[in-house]
Structure 1
Amino acid sequence: MSDLSLLTKLFEQNKISRRQFISQATALGLTAAISPTLLSNTAWAETPKTGGRFIIGATGGSTTDSMDPGTLTSNMNQNLNWQIRNNLVEIDHNLQPTPELAKSWEATPDAKVWRFKLRKGIEFHNGKTLSAEDVIYSINHHRGEKSKSAAKAYLESIKDIKTDGKYELIFELSGGSADFPFILGDYHLTICPAGTTGEEWEKGVGTGPYILENWEPGVRAFAKRNPNYWKEGRGHFDEVETLSIVDTNARTNALKTGQINYMDRVELKTVHLMKRMPGINVSATTGTAHYTMPMLVDQKPYDDNNVRMALKHAIDRKELLSQILRGYGEPGNDHPIAPVNRFFAKNLEQREYDPDKARFYMEKAGMLDHTFNLHAADAAFAGALDAAIMVKEQAKKAGIKINVVREPDDGYWSNVWMKKEWCMCYWGGRPTEDMMFSVAYAADAPWNDTHWQNDRFNELLVAARAELDTSKRAKMYEEMQEICRNDSGTIVPMYNQMVEASSDKLAHGPISGHMALDGMRNAERWWFKS
């Protein structure tokens, strides 16, 4: 494949931005060979226009959902969160931190003290002017002793937060944190008015591009454009309607018939047919997302690492990648750090399907006669049930017996995940290794969905966070990935591309791989062509 063909393929698959495409083509001296229609026809060349109702069909919504930022678990309420709120920091499509409510920040050389300066004159939807007091309240909401927020683990290094006037904040940390701005871009850490509590979270008052008018958890949300939105070039729709449509076929039919404009998690079995449909665009974005199969290691028999290793070797990742993801992804290696992450352990041996080794470990555990229950629903990810059934068949070659338990889609994240001993799961990933490990693998992490504890891993987590020498950090994170691979209760069979579909009447800039739905900010970043 020629250099230009490769660049064109990456550009058309949204794997590189328009700017990256042009700059790399220029560096290679290929600009004269670029088809004029390639750039002029793309939605990225469009000038943003205002107006219209944008309707999103999203997965994962549940009647137990809340708009408390500490408890956001579904695509539906995570996306709604950024329709109505902002962070101090935004993670852009290159997975880099950029100023949002904070206009700038700086750190001491040891990265233990961080100073953030706020933008002035920003108003909440209720008319209150944003100040440092609101930021401190919003961050402390996740830090309390009784807090169950998934962001709590990120913030444990904060010793104190002080104001220096109305628009400056000083964060004092117990140790250096080279990635601290990334943390403040996490979707849980949106800024709300000081004093928000209880049912007031459900009103969704924020500083975001849209004002929440109606919120029915797990069903529907409706918001109108904020006429006082402060961010230039964002928030173009007059209205945004977000619908929870868990069933893939229902989402697909809704997009085909024009009932919605955007859907996440396209059915990969039929994506080739969707690509041929007039009026529909399909995007495949590479990011940090991955599928997992967490085991509760404080429950028998998963407390025995021989059992965990047996199940890890009993899975044919290449077959899952081919049949479930239809090639839209890469094989996983039983740790959560994606190939796009900075410190991905590229030299770590890829785990292969090995029924003999799986049987060896299971015999060593004395559990070949045991039947393992694997709980699954497509609420976990599109094709989760099919994947569970395939795993069951793959494990048979090792003499391992698996019973697939079909769970209801509604309430899956509150009734199955972190409750049942082994289940199917999906993670959007995180832009940094520290964030991913801290939220789901640290011993005391609220979303440690295996209850796994490893002393060496937890020691390295703290050390790597404070290490400013890049080569030393890389070695630490590589060791942590190896520890996860060989000891944790998490099977990571696949890294998935985010395959989504939308009306061709929509336009947008470079699509982010940070999270689904254009980094969960499609309502803010997209617009109708006319």
Structure 2
Amino acid sequence: MSHDTVTNWTGRDDAMVEHAIRRGATRRDLLRLLMASGIGLAAGGTIIGRATRAFAETPKSGGSITAAGWSASTADTLDPAKGSLSTDYVRACAFYNRLTFLEEGGDVRMELADKLETQDAKTWTLTLRPDVTFHDGKTLTTDDVIYSLQRHKDPAVGSKVNAMAKQMESFKKVDDKVMEIVLSAPNADLPIILALHHFMIIADGTTDFSTANGTGAFKCEVFEPGVRSVGVKNENYWKDQLPYLDSFEFIAISDEPARINALLSGDIALAAAINPRSMRRLDGVDGVSLSQTTSGNYTDLNVRLDMDPGDKAGFVEGMKYLINREVIKRSILRDLAVVANDQPISPNDKYYNKELPAKEYDPDKAKSLFEKAGVLGQTIPIITSDAPNSAVDMATVVQQAGQEIGMPFDVQRVPSDGYWSNYWLKAPIHFGNINPRPTPDILFSLLYASDAPWNESHYKSEKFDKMLVEARGSLDEAKRKAIYDEMQVMVSEEAGTIIPVWISNVDALSSKLKGMRANPLGGMMGYAFAEYVWLDD
């Protein structure tokens, strides 16, 4: 390698190495990263030293914060397997660690795992990091990993990822640091699946979750379900320099205006999930900054293909041309959104099909298609609610567009309470709201496979199902990309789900709170903010 090549590489990638350090990468991780890119040991050490110095100039250790999410319940839990609300995920990320971690952009970083290797996407060899300990001083071993993963498969546990864990057919301990995971069928996405919040690693034999004994950045000092949680810095944390905070308190303020008021008054340093309609209150306010993540959250209009009028040829296509995506993006969401193309893979995903255009707003074409379907002039109900984000406003946009072409829609606004059990998946035309998922396989399996549990439009395609299995088991990235590209086209053209935009998640925070980054698992840095943020006076 020439001197010029080294110079160009280091100048371009110092920021990348610094970013990896911020995420908790050890010196060993960084050397492996640099050497894999053709950088020698001596040059790599220079790069790491320079990036470490740059990194050390910014973060500051010390201080405490209170942060507020939007949801809490007396059913709040410290059991990662059962977590279902933002408060559960924040605690899990603070008190425990996963085997892998999803970086900004969707790349996988090893966390408790040192290596995760496979030749066939079915049998995986997992090697753990050395010298990781739980809060009670116990050393992490493969016994803990096997126990943590195995319990997801036990119906009595009530794990939220039971269906996903069932593919892990068997576990074999090689020694205290090495084990094998054998899947029931090949799945190249296992490293990403293990990065989900529910797959945090707990100590072997744990059954009492009145407190948390994890390997995470914070120790659990207070846990009051539905009220608050307090974590204090783990002084023996295995990641160098992390966390920066001495402690943090997490609460929930379900009323958004009250959450904003608490931030403006200085009672909290972070107010999660701010609605675009509330942004005017924060515009130009000194001491407040915004953290925006567009990671794949969306509200969709679902037309069931097995019910009238969705079963009539041309109707669904007409609805897709009647959606004014730019108005929804600009007027309803105040540009805190990205125009979408009626399929669930977001532009932040490496498998996103960039060649698939969103349908343009074309009321004349929509009218022609409604005529073809034999429904023009008929009054058609649309069920909406405040439960799905911005669904009421979106329904109004559709209704107004329909009026202009003689297509009357009866927008029926129903209560949020009971919406998901009484209307979602059931009504002929209704809205849904889907949170980010880290892989196309999870999204397609959950929403579009013929046997998908959340098949919102009752889309069924034997070809689609076969392609899903083929992509899941392939380690050939180019092949997977080609398959997922075609599957996105199929969903966009054939399914009855209309996805007008991907909605940005906005967290409002004190300008003194630094280090927030986007994450594919959602807002608040994928709920892992506590480990990585710091206070700057």
State the one-letter code of the partner of 1:106.
Answer: E
Match of 1:329 among 312, 327, 337: 337
Match of 1:375 among 384, 387, 390: 384
- Correspondences of 1:14-163 after superposition (within 5 Å): 19=15, 46-52=58-64, 54-62=65-73, 66-108=77-119, 110-126=120-136, 128-144=138-154, 149-163=159-173
Q: Is the 8 A contact 2:66 2:248 kept in 1?
A: yes
Q: Provide the residue aligned with 2:350 in structure 1.
A: 342
Match of 2:445 among 408, 415, 438: 438
| Cα distance, 1:49 vs structure 2 | 0.8
| Cα distance, 1:100 vs structure 2 | 1.0
Classify 1:304/1:63 alpha carbon distance in 2 versus 1 (closer, same or farther; 3 Å).
farther
Q: Is the 8 A contact 2:395 2:411 kept in 1?
A: no
The TM-score with structure 1 as length reference comes to 0.80
State the one-letter code of the partner of 1:502.
Answer: L
The TM-score with structure 2 as length reference comes to 0.79
How many equivalent pairs are there? Answer: 491
Classify 1:357/1:370 alpha carbon distance in 2 versus 1 (closer, same or farther; 3 Å).
same
Q: Is the 8 A contact 1:89 1:185 kept in 2?
A: yes
Q: Is 503-512 or 61-70 further displaced after alignment?
A: 61-70
Q: Provide the residue aligned with 1:254 in structure 2.
A: 262
| Cα distance, 1:147 vs structure 2 | 7.7
Q: Does 1:351 align with 2:359?
A: yes
Structure 2 counterpart SS, 1:141: helix
Q: Does 1:318 align with 2:323?
A: no
Using the alignment, how far apart are the partners of 2:71 and 2:430 within structure 1?
16
Structure 2 counterpart SS, 1:142: helix
Classify 1:133/1:450 alpha carbon distance in 2 versus 1 (closer, same or farther; 3 Å).
farther
Q: Does 1:462 align with 2:469?
A: yes
Q: Is the 8 A contact 2:145 2:202 kept in 1?
A: yes
Q: Is 167-176 or 479-488 further displaced after alignment?
A: 167-176
Summarize deviations over 1:345-404 as a string: whole Å, max 9, x none. Answer: 111132122334444555555556354242322x543x4433333333334345141324
Q: Is the 8 A contact 2:384 2:391 kept in 1?
A: no
Structure 1 counterpart SS, 2:152: coil
Identity %: 32
Structure 2 counterpart SS, 1:323: helix
Summarize deviations over 1:428-450 as a string: whole Å, max 9, x none. Answer: 42333223323443344455555
Using the alignment, how far apart are the partners of 1:439 and 1:218 within structure 2?
29
Using the alignment, how far apart are the partners of 2:461 and 2:76 within structure 1?
32
Q: Does 1:171 align with 2:181?
A: yes
- Correspondences of 1:447-526 after superposition (within 5 Å): 447-449=454-456, 452-508=459-515, 510-526=517-533
Q: Is the 8 A contact 1:372 1:402 kept in 2?
A: yes
Q: Provide the residue aligned with 1:6 in structure 2.
A: none
Classify 1:119/1:472 alpha carbon distance in 2 versus 1 (closer, same or farther; 3 Å).
closer
| Cα distance, 1:135 vs structure 2 | 1.7
State the one-letter code of the partner of 2:231.
Answer: A
| Stretches of structure 1 lacking an aligned partner (at least 5 in a row) | 1-15, 24-41
Using the alignment, how far apart are the partners of 2:264 and 2:304 within structure 1?
41
| Cα distance, 1:473 vs structure 2 | 1.8
| Stretches of structure 2 lacking an aligned partner (at least 5 in a row) | 1-11, 20-53
State the one-letter code of the partner of 1:334.
Answer: D
Q: Is the 8 A contact 2:77 2:88 kept in 1?
A: yes
Summarize deviations over 1:462-508 as a string: whole Å, max 9, x none. Answer: 10122233332222101111121123343211112332221112121
Using the alignment, how far apart are the partners of 1:393 and 1:439 within structure 2?
32
Structure 1 counterpart SS, 2:259: helix
State the one-letter code of the partner of 2:464.
Answer: F
Q: Is 60-69 or 85-94 further displaced after alignment?
A: 60-69
Structure 1 counterpart SS, 2:132: coil
CA radius of gyration, larger in:
2
Classify 1:365/1:387 alpha carbon distance in 2 versus 1 (closer, same or farther; 3 Å).
same
Summarize deviations over 1:209-265 as a string: whole Å, max 9, x none. Answer: 223344455553333333443322323323322222233322221111112111222
Using the alignment, how far apart are the partners of 2:189 and 2:310 within structure 1?
33
